[in-house]
Structure 1
Amino acid sequence: METLLWLSIGLLVYSYLLYPFVLLVCSKLFNKSKTWCKNAQHLPDITVIISAFNEQSCIADRIKNLNHIDYPQHKIKLLVGSDGSTDDTNEILLALAKTTENLQVELFSQNRGKMSVLNDLIAKATTDIVVMSDANTEFAEDALIELTQPFVDENIGAVCGELVLYNAGCERNQDDKYWQYERFLKKHESNLNALLGANGAIYAFRKALYVPLAHDTIVDDFQIALHVRKQKQVVVYQQRALAFEEIAPDLSAEGQRRVRIGRGNYQAFFRMPWLLNPANGFLFFSYVSHKVLRWFAPHLMLIAIVTNVLLATTPFYVALLALQVLFYVLAFIGINLPTHSIAKQPIIKIIAFFTAMNVSLLKGFIQYFTTKSSGAWQRTVR
C-alpha cells in the first residue's frame, strides 16, 4: 500500500517537475537540431488544407488571411472541405471560390467527422508538401515561409509551427503559463528528434508519408505527425512559424474541448502501441514521460488519495492526507469561485487549473470506454 502511494506521487512529481530538467540536460548533451535560414527563393509548391464545420463567422477571414500571406500565391493551393455544415459556410465558400483563383472547395453533404474530410482532401492534394490548419486560425505574414524552410532537408518529414493563444478580452489567457511550459518541452524534444505530434493549427508534412487514419480519429494532428516519425523521418518544431487562435470564451467550452482531447489521447494510446517500444530511444523516453504519465495522472491522483486514506493510521499519513485534502479544497475554490479574491491567488489558480485539467482527462477516459464514436464533430472556438 505504501509502495502504491509513493509510486503514484513520485510519478506525478517526475512527469510535471523533474522531467523538464532531465529533458533539458539531454537536449544540451544530444542536440540534433538544425537552424534553417529564411530563404524566399527556394519555396515549394504547397496545398493548405482546412476541414470546416459551421464556420460562417470566420471562414471568409481565414481565406483572406491566406491570400494576403507572404508566400508566392502561384505556389499555394487552398483546399477547403465543408463537413456537412448547416449554417452559411457553404454559401460563403462557393462565393469565395468564384473570386479566389487558387481556392478549391469540396462540399460534403453529411457530417462525417474531421478525419474523414482530411483523408479525402489530402488524397486530392497535388503538391509534395501539405500544410494543415484550422478555420479559426490566422497565420503570421511569414508563417508559410518559415514552416516550409526545413523541407530543404530530405530527412525532414513533418514540421510543426508555433500556436499563439490570445484572449480577445482584457484578461490574460488562463493557461498562458502552462502553454509556455508546453512550448519549452516541444523545443527540447525536437532537439532530440522526439517531438510528440504537431499542433493542428499549423503544421506541414510530405504527402508521400501520409497514412490515412480511421474515420473516428480524434487527435489527428498527433497521430499524423507520429506516423511520419514511424517511417524514420524527422519531425521538427519551427518556433518562428506563427499562427494565432483565440481561446475558448468560457470555462465550460474549454472544459468540453479538454474532455474531447482527453478521449482522443487514450484513443491514440491504444491505437499506437509501437510508441511504447524502448528501441525508439528518446522518442520512447519523451512519450512515456511527457504523454503517458500525464494521460494517466488522474488515475495516479486517485490512487494517491485512496491509499493515503487507507494508511491514515499514523500521524505522518494523517498529515499527508490533510495536505491532499487541502489541495483539493483549494482546487474547488479556484474552479468554483473564479471571481473571488481568494481564487485569484497564483498558487490557487495553478492548483485549480491542474485539477480541472485532470478531471477533464478522467472524463475523457470514461467516455473513451463508454461512448461509441461516430466521427462526427461539433464546432468549438478552439
Structure 2
Amino acid sequence: MAEVFFWCAALALVHTYFLYPLSLFALEGAAQVFQNMRKMRSGEAARTGVKAGPLPSVSLVVAAYNEADCIESKLKNSLALDYPADRFEVVIGSDGSTDGTDGLVQKCTDPRVRLSPAARAGKTTVLNRCIPSAHGDIVLLSDANTMIDADAVRKIVRHFEDPEVGAVCGKLRLYNPTKQDYEESAYWSYESLIKMYEGRRGAVVGANGGLYAIRRSLFTQLPPSTIVDDFVIPLRILESGYKVVYEEGAVAHEETTEDYGKEFGRRARIAAGNFQSLRLVPGLLLPTAGFAAFAFWSHKLLRWCAPALMALALFANLFLLDSLFYRVTLGAQLGFYALAYLGRSGVFKSGAAKKATSIAYYFVTMNAAIAVGFWRFLRNSQRAAWDRTARVPTSTST
C-alpha cells in the first residue's frame, strides 16, 4: 500500500509540473502537422492575413485601494496607450482609498478618465460596480501598479474579431528594481509558457490581474466574498463555452515586492481563493468540458494538491527502505529539502549553487503558502478585501 501511495503522489507531481507541459507541446506540434496536411490536400494557399474590422470600444478598469504613490503614473501610462481616443476610457474604481488616491484621479482633466469611488468593500465589489457601467464593448482589466506597453491594447482586441473568443490574457513581465535574477522570475517564465500553449487550445485557465480583457456582455456578477477575481472571471467565461486565449505580444510590467513576509501572505491569500473558486466553476471539473477540464485538473487542481502529494510521497517512502531504489528516492527528496533550507539561510551568495538553492526554497515556500491558504479556506478566515502589496520606492522605469 505504501508503494501505491508513493507512486500515485509521485506521478501526480510529475504530471502537473512536467508531463502536462510536454503534452501541450505535443498537441501543438500535432495540430500544426494536421493543419499543414489539410492545406496540402486542399491546395489551400497560405493565409496572408485577415482583414481587420473596426476597432471595438474599450474600457480600462482599474480597482485601486490606497495607490497614491503610483496612480498618476498609471493614468499617464493608460492615456498614452495606442488606441483611438474616442473609443477608449479609463475607469478608476476606488475601494474606499484614504491616502489621497481619489483626489489625484480627480485632478486629471482628460475626459477619458472617470472616477468611481465607494466605501471599502473589496475588489470584487469594485468590479461588480465598474464593469457593468463601463461604456466599452471590451473591458480591459489591470492593476494600479502595472504599466502596459503602448501597443498592447490593439494586440489584445484583434482576437475578439473571432466571436468564439470571450477573454484574452496578456503577458505580465515581473521585474525587481534591486535584483536582476530572482526566484520568481524563473517560475513566472515557466507559467507564461504554459499559458501561451494553453491559449493556442483556447483554454487558458486563469488570467493574471495585471493585464487581461473580456467581452463586457459575458461578465456575470461575482459573489462579494470572491478572493481571486482574475482567476474566476475568465474561468467562468471558459466554462460557458467561449475561448480564453493568450497574446504574448501584449506586454505589461509589474514590480515585485522585497517584503517576503507579505509575499508569502499574498500567495496564501491566492491559494485560499483558488480553493474557493471550485464552487464557482463546477462545470470545469467535469469531463464534458473537454480539453478545458483536462487543463484545469492538470494545471491547477493537481498544483493545489502538491503540498499533500509531497508529504505523502515522503511519508510513504519511509516504509519502503528495504529497496535500494527507494532509499535513493528518499535521499533525493531529503536532498531537495536540504537545498531549500540552504536557500533560506542564504549560504551561497552567487553562482549556480545560489540559483539552485533559491529555486528550491521558492518552490517549498510556494507550496507551504498553498497549505496555509487551504487551512484558511477550511476555516473561512480569508477576507475578500485586499491590501496593496508593498513595493520598493524607486525611480526605475520599465
TM bracket, shorter-chain basis: over 0.9
How do 1:98-113 and structure 2 match up within 5 A?
A: 99-109=109-119, 111-113=120-122
Aligned to 2:40: none
Structure 2 vs 1, CA of residues 156 and 320 (structure 1 numbering), >3 Å: closer, same or farther? closer
Aligned to 1:204: 213
CA RMSD of aligned residues (A): 2.3
Aligned to 2:87: 75
User: How many Å separate the matches in 1 of 2:53 and 2:159?
Assistant: 14
SS in 1 for 2:81: coil
SS in 1 for 2:16: helix
Q: Conserved in 2, the CA contact under 8 Å of 1:113 and 1:215?
A: yes
Structure 2 vs 1, CA of residues 123 and 338 (structure 1 numbering), >3 Å: closer, same or farther? farther
Aligned to 2:248: 239
Q: Which runs of 5+ in 1 are unaligned?
A: none
Count of aligned residue pairs for this structure pair = 378
Residue-by-residue CA offset, 1:26-82 (whole Å, 9 max, x unaligned): 12223699x996988732111110110010110011011111111111211111111
User: How many Å separate the matches in 2 of 1:358 and 1:338?
Assistant: 22
Aligned to 2:125: 116
User: How many Å separate the matches in 2 of 1:262 and 1:310?
Assistant: 31
SS in 2 for 1:175: helix
Q: With structure 2 as the length reference, what TM-score do the two structures score?
A: 0.89
Of the structure 1 ranges 187-196 and 293-302, higher mean CA displacement relative to structure 2 is found in: 187-196
Per the TM alignment, residue 253 of structure 1 is displaced from its structure 2 partner at its CA by 2.7
Q: Percent identity?
A: 37
SS in 1 for 2:386: coil
Question: Counterpart of 2:284 in structure 1: which amino acid?
Answer: L
Of the structure 1 ranges 311-320 and 292-301, higher mean CA displacement relative to structure 2 is found in: 311-320
User: How many Å separate the matches in 2 of 1:318 and 1:160?
Assistant: 44
Of the structure 1 ranges 248-257 and 11-20, higher mean CA displacement relative to structure 2 is found in: 248-257
Aligned to 2:272: 263
Structure 2 vs 1, CA of residues 341 and 143 (structure 1 numbering), >3 Å: closer, same or farther? closer
Question: Counterpart of 1:300 in structure 2: which amino acid?
Answer: L
Q: Conserved in 1, the CA contact under 8 Å of 2:275 and 2:374?
A: yes
Q: Conserved in 1, the CA contact under 8 Å of 2:57 and 2:135?
A: no
Aligned to 1:372: 381
Per the TM alignment, residue 190 of structure 1 is displaced from its structure 2 partner at its CA by 1.2
Per the TM alignment, residue 241 of structure 1 is displaced from its structure 2 partner at its CA by 1.0
Question: Counterpart of 1:12 in structure 2: which amino acid?
Answer: L
| 1:64 equivalent among 76, 92, 96 | 76
Question: Counterpart of 1:100 in structure 2: which amino acid?
Answer: D
- Asked whether 1:193 is paired with 2:213, we answer no
- Asked whether 1:50 is paired with 2:51, we answer no
Question: Counterpart of 2:98 in structure 1: which amino acid?
Answer: T
Per the TM alignment, residue 271 of structure 1 is displaced from its structure 2 partner at its CA by 3.1
How do 1:1-382 and structure 2 match up within 5 A?
A: 1-30=2-31, 42-96=54-108, 99-109=109-119, 111-313=120-322, 315-337=324-346, 340=349, 344-381=353-390
Q: Which runs of 5+ in 2 are unaligned?
A: 36-46, 392-398
Structure 2 vs 1, CA of residues 271 and 252 (structure 1 numbering), >3 Å: closer, same or farther? same
Structure 2 vs 1, CA of residues 108 and 235 (structure 1 numbering), >3 Å: closer, same or farther? same
Structure 2 vs 1, CA of residues 130 and 363 (structure 1 numbering), >3 Å: closer, same or farther? same
Q: Conserved in 2, the CA contact under 8 Å of 1:151 and 1:157?
A: yes
Q: With structure 1 as the length reference, what TM-score do the two structures score?
A: 0.92
User: How many Å separate the matches in 1 of 2:183 and 2:251?
Assistant: 20
Structure 2 vs 1, CA of residues 308 and 36 (structure 1 numbering), >3 Å: closer, same or farther? farther
Per the TM alignment, residue 302 of structure 1 is displaced from its structure 2 partner at its CA by 1.0
Per the TM alignment, residue 164 of structure 1 is displaced from its structure 2 partner at its CA by 1.0
User: How many Å separate the matches in 1 of 2:49 and 2:341?
Assistant: 48
Of the structure 1 ranges 24-33 and 133-142, higher mean CA displacement relative to structure 2 is found in: 24-33
SS in 1 for 2:202: coil
Per the TM alignment, residue 17 of structure 1 is displaced from its structure 2 partner at its CA by 1.6
Per the TM alignment, residue 137 of structure 1 is displaced from its structure 2 partner at its CA by 0.7
User: How many Å separate the matches in 2 of 1:36 and 1:160?
Assistant: 25
User: How many Å separate the matches in 1 of 2:204 and 2:194?
Assistant: 9
Question: Counterpart of 1:60 in structure 2: which amino acid?
Answer: E
Structure 2 vs 1, CA of residues 147 and 38 (structure 1 numbering), >3 Å: closer, same or farther? farther
Residue-by-residue CA offset, 1:280-314 (whole Å, 9 max, x unaligned): 11111111111111111001011111222233455
